[in-house]
Structure 1
Amino acid sequence: MIKDPANLTILKTGPGTSVQDFGRIGFGQFGIPISGAMDIRSMKWVNHLLKNKENEAVLEISQPGLKIQFDAPTQICLAGAKSNVFLNGQFIKSEGLIGIDFGDILEFGAINLGSKIYLGIKHGFRILPVMESKSFYPGILENGNLKKGDQIGYFTNQEKPKPSPVKVIFNRDWMLSDTIVAYEGPEWQFLPDSTKAQLEETKFTISNLQNRMAIQLEELIPNSLEEMSTAAVYPGSVQLTSGGKLIVLMKDAQVTGGYPRILQLPEDSIAHIAQKRPGETILFEIKRGFDFSKPH
């Protein structure tokens, strides 16, 4: 079936709305961050239901207030944080497949659970990839965030999809857990046993100091380790600063750093902590055996 081009228009948005996919893998040697969806778990789910490619780009929405209008019919899917969602002023579910008609307006209100909403669209967004990715990042693709008046292309078959009798529920139970699985990082071995025990027993609070680059935790950990000149870091690397702060690097993080890398979060744990809000607490469940030779 021929797919015609159409556009969605940003009528209103707060900060933190961008287009993301799996990110730019393999460009760290040039100083280019991976970027990509903070919660790949939710991103994969929307693309699975839409029968898109697993890596198809989606909208990542980090604040309430996004309002968008669609030129032509399509089908979208929502996942991630639970929020108040309105289609043409009518309250709708905040997960699963949603049929869109000519001129429909979709609006996101308060976020009730989690912190990142994901919106996928049938056949994906018409955005040219840069360095094998459609992910927004300042200086590479757009300025990092969408703004009022921006348009994003998509494909339409010029007919509204028929509603499906199957109602699929996005299970958010994992967002309620405070346990974050982490692996021992390269410098874990140099920590004293007392510090290791404290890292495993402390409930850490998510601070207000967070963005797509990193999340800072509030509680201090005694640190006698010297800073390094520089070393490779990845999304999910947990650094211990000289002042005892823990910094969890996220998808837009730099590619090198000088603080000891005491823990490493796998992809599911990055998604998990990305959905935590300031003031919520987490407890690290620390394991051995992270493979640093593979992209994560």
Structure 2
Amino acid sequence: MIKVLKTGMLTTVQDIGRVGYRNIGVPLSGSMDSISAGIANGLLNNHKNDAVLEITMLGPKLAFLKAAKIAISGAELSAKINNTSIINNKVYFLKKGDVLSFGAAIKGIRCYLAVEGGFQTEKILKSRSFYAGITSQEKLNENDTIPFNSQLENTNNFKGLLKNKVHFFETNELEVYKGPEYDLFTPNEKKLLISNKFTVSKDSNRMGYRLEETVIEHTKSIITSPVIPGTVQLTPEGKLIILMKDAQTTGGYPRVLQLSEKSIAILAQKNAKDKISFKKMVSI
């Protein structure tokens, strides 16, 4: 069991999401940066769908009410165990009574905390991912307790360490495929999508990332159609919206591009005013 002493900016429980329910209007949800979440789980030999904590920008302070083996990955958020700094992508043992805390973001904005055995919060529609209106809460609150299943046989120091070769924080290029309405636009308009650099808007969250620049004003409309995380929509005003893990299941703006899962993870680590560009794939 973990007790939340301080909440941080936004801390939620996430797994791979509610796969298979979009036909009834249920968003996928799940870890925004699924690759970093997978690394944290992998270090502990957890199942890929074991629930982790997704910690955004300013992290929480957590008291461990029993011993646990943990790993953190993703953003660097000044993590400490009992005021001793720790690093990402390494396995640590925490004793009963230890306190894990996070500070301000150094690199990236979303960090993932995994515990051996996974967090055991309520499961609804085969997922523990927080989502308002589906789970009983949408974020962790002060004094919440979070159960987990870790069954440690000893208290030896663990030395697992993984060098993260996924350069999420160094790249600004997002791999994209053409969306269903990509070919509604002229070659020059398509070139604007691929050749421009864009700025992440402050109006960005788990539902979607908006980009500041106006790229192609248009009057093209479509019948409301399915969308998925990573779908890039083009509004009539010429603005781009990139749908993320908590996005709706349908939309009425032209779907001009589609991000790969790796690109969704990269974008999930970008903050307001960061620059991104699209890297076209072979199929475009």
Look up the SS of the partner of 1:207 in the other structure. Answer: strand
Question: Could you report, residue by residue, the CA deviation over 1:120-176 in whole angstroms, capped at 9, with x for unpaired residues?
Answer: 000111223110111110011132111111111012436664223453333352321
| Partner residue, 1:75 | 69
Conserved? CA contact 1:182–1:287, under 8 Å: yes
Look up the SS of the partner of 2:39 in the other structure. Answer: helix
- Mapped to 2, the partners of 1:132 and 1:213 lie a distance apart of 20
| Partner residue, 2:49 | 55
- Mapped to 1, the partners of 2:278 and 2:266 lie a distance apart of 12
* Structure-2 change in CA distance of 1:159 and 1:101 (3 Å): farther
| Counterpart selection for 1:130 from 120, 124, 131 | 124
- Mapped to 1, the partners of 2:229 and 2:21 lie a distance apart of 14
| Partner residue, 2:115 | 121
Are residues 1:194 and 2:188 paired?
Answer: yes
Conserved? CA contact 1:72–1:156, under 8 Å: no
- Mapped to 1, the partners of 2:241 and 2:160 lie a distance apart of 42
Calculate the TM-score normalised by the size of structure 1: 0.92
Question: Could you report, residue by residue, the CA deviation over 1:153-210 in whole angstroms, capped at 9, with x for unpaired residues?
Answer: 0124366642234533333523211111001000000111111111111110111011
- Mapped to 1, the partners of 2:109 and 2:157 lie a distance apart of 28
Question: Could you report, residue by residue, the CA deviation over 1:24-43 in whole angstroms, capped at 9, with x for unpaired residues?
Answer: 11111111100000001011
Instruction: Please identify, of 11-20 and 249-258, the stretch whose mean Cα deviation from structure 2 is larger.
Output: 11-20
- Residue 89 of structure 1 and its aligned partner are, at CA, apart by 1.4
- Residue 289 of structure 1 and its aligned partner are, at CA, apart by 3.8
Q: Give the count of matched residue pairs.
A: 284
| Counterpart selection for 1:273 from 254, 267, 279 | 267
Higher strand fraction (1 or 2): 1
| Partner residue, 1:45 | 39
Report the aligned-residue RMSD.
1.5
Letter in 2 for 1:180: L
Instruction: Please identify, of 53-62 and 94-103, the stretch whose mean Cα deviation from structure 2 is larger.
Output: 94-103
| Counterpart selection for 1:93 from 68, 83, 87 | 87
Letter in 2 for 1:114: G
- Mapped to 2, the partners of 1:217 and 1:149 lie a distance apart of 36
* Structure-2 change in CA distance of 1:169 and 1:187 (3 Å): same
Conserved? CA contact 1:184–1:288, under 8 Å: no
- Mapped to 1, the partners of 2:259 and 2:49 lie a distance apart of 21
Letter in 1 for 2:68: T
Instruction: Please identify, of 183-192 and 172-181, the stretch whose mean Cα deviation from structure 2 is larger.
Output: 172-181
Conserved? CA contact 2:228–2:243, under 8 Å: yes
- Mapped to 2, the partners of 1:284 and 1:107 lie a distance apart of 36
Conserved? CA contact 2:67–2:94, under 8 Å: yes
Letter in 2 for 1:268: K
Question: Could you report, residue by residue, the CA deviation over 1:98-127 in whole angstroms, capped at 9, with x for unpaired residues?
Answer: 111011111101111111000000011122
Calculate the TM-score normalised by the size of structure 2: 0.96
- Residue 95 of structure 1 and its aligned partner are, at CA, apart by 3.0
| Counterpart selection for 1:84 from 78, 86, 92 | 78
1:197-236 aligned at under 5 Å gives the runs 197-236=191-230
| Partner residue, 1:257 | 251
Specify every segment of 5 or more residues in structure 2 that has no aligned partner in the other structure, as ranges.
none
Look up the SS of the partner of 1:126 in the other structure. Answer: coil
Specify every segment of 5 or more residues in structure 1 that has no aligned partner in the other structure, as ranges.
1-6, 291-296
Question: Could you report, residue by residue, the CA deviation over 1:45-66 in whole angstroms, capped at 9, with x for unpaired residues?
Answer: 1111100111111000012141
- Residue 286 of structure 1 and its aligned partner are, at CA, apart by 1.5
- Mapped to 2, the partners of 1:69 and 1:159 lie a distance apart of 21
Look up the SS of the partner of 1:189 in the other structure. Answer: helix
